[in-house]
Amino acid sequence: MTVLITGGAGFIGANFVLDWVAHTAEKIVNLDKLTYAGNLESLASLNNNPQHVFVQGDIGDSELLPKLLAEHQPRAVLNFAAESHVDRSIHGPGDFIETNIVGTFRLLESVRGYWQSMGADGQRSFRFLHVSTDEVYGSLTPQDPAFTEQHQYEPNSPYSASKAASDHLVRAWHHTYGLPVLTTNCSNNYGPLHFPEKLIPLMIVNALAGKPLPVYGDGMQVRDWLYVKDHCSAIRRVLEGGRLGETYNVGGWNEKPNIEIVNTVCALLDELRPRSDGQSYATQITYVKDRPGHDRRYAIDARKLEKELGWKPAETFETGIRKTVAWYLDNTEWVAHVQSGAYRDWVTKQYKA
């Protein structure tokens, strides 16, 4: 048996590939375009492992996809491939439209053709699982209840709008063509192998380098934080037992404002890798101009996933963030290699005080 994953060299995708190999003997074919955020070093432990087959390619390649599907005959396709950084979507939305909308459409069409060529038994057991985000639901006030799967879509950034569109395409291909789909909408992930443009790894990397720790606005934007390995276990559970055509919200039950996250990272670094001058890393915190249209609060209600499929996160924020900081301290070579000149130029451009 085989599964095909797209975007498997990115942050969540690479963690899922490693998790899959650790929990099953089933072969996994990994298709990734290897853009700036795709990093094969994250999968170095799988070099020469026949269980993992890597293919460099684009989900929008309508010639490559049918060939891969015909060759490997996967029982499931899991779509992690996406442009996913809100800040980048503000400066250059075109890549997000191309990958998240057009790419998803072309992937769905390739998968539909493959699925329709199967026999009845193969069609019944096949699954297409689409990995999405809580940002499609928009922003909450402090008093609002958390997002459920019935919450109205109200995306506010080019990134979240493009992901909302991809979710709608997946839903339409199920209702129109019968494609057996599942969708997951997750909260903010954190953990090992996270590209250092996102909040937590950026704070760790900048702190250790003696650089400012840029915090948008007043730092009181609230997010629900989900340890990436918990997210991986949730996806495996939805793939195994989720009801066709359904959406499952995946969250960590950890609502925290950004400034609290930054202070927690600083406190852990103070403990695990103290500054030579004895000062706290918190002295490096610098407030910068807020980004346009910055959503104030996201929160995930993951009770449907718990009730139907028995899934709950294994990590608290306290255990997960400690593991995350320790991983970055132990993997400085990975961090150094992933930080190309293009990445450094981006951070300088984005976080002007």
Which DSSP symbol is given to 99?
Answer: I
CA atoms of 179 and 97, how far apart (whole Å): 23
Whether 333 maps to a domain, the answer reads: no
Q: Please check whether residue 122 lies inside any domain of the structure.
A: yes
Q: Give residue 268's pLDDT.
A: 98
Contact 228, 252 (CB under 8 A): no
* 184 backbone dihedrals φ, ψ, rounded to 5°: -120, 135
Quote the pLDDT of residue 353.
47
CB 248 within 8 A of CB 305: yes
Position 178 in a domain: yes
In a domain, 320, yes or no: no
Q: Could you confirm whether 134 is annotated as catalytic?
A: yes
Residue 336 falls inside a structural domain: no
Catalytic option among 32, 58, 134, 224: 134
Instruction: Report the number of distinct structural domains present in the chain.
Output: 1
Spatial contact of 81 and 103, defined as CB atoms under 8 Å apart: yes
Q: What is the DSSP letter of 297?
A: B
pLDDT of amino acid 100 = 95
The predicted structure's pLDDT at residue 91:
86
> What residues of the chain score a pLDDT lower than 50?
353
Q: Residues 159, 190, 216, 351: which is the catalytic one?
A: 159
Q: Is residue 212 part of a domain?
A: no
Neighbours of 161 (CB within 10 A): 21
Question: What local confidence, expressed as pLDDT, does residue 342 receive?
Answer: 59
C-alpha–C-alpha distance, residues 259 and 139, integer Å: 18
For 100-129, the pLDDT digits (tens) are: 999 999 999 999 999 999 999 999 999 999
Contact 83, 96 (CB under 8 A): yes
Closest CA to 186 of 71, 283, 297, 302: 302
Asked whether residue 278 is assigned to any structural domain, the reply reads: no
Tokens representing 70? 């015909």
CA dihedral 259, 263, 269, 275 (to 10 degrees): 100
The residue from 58, 83, 87, 135 that is catalytic is 135
Task: Tell me the three-class secondary structure of 209-267, residue by residue.
Answer: CCCCEEEECCCCCEEEEEEHHHHHHHHHHHHHHCCCCCEEEECCCCEEEHHHHHHHHHH
Whether 165 maps to a domain, the answer reads yes
Collapsed DSSP state (helix, strand, coil) of residue 338? helix
Task: Specify the pLDDT at position 348.
Answer: 61
pLDDT of residue 36: 72
* Residue 291 to residue 87: CA distance in whole angstroms: 8
Domain that holds residue 62: 2-190+226-251+293-314
Give me the CATH number covering residue 11. Answer: 3.40.50.720
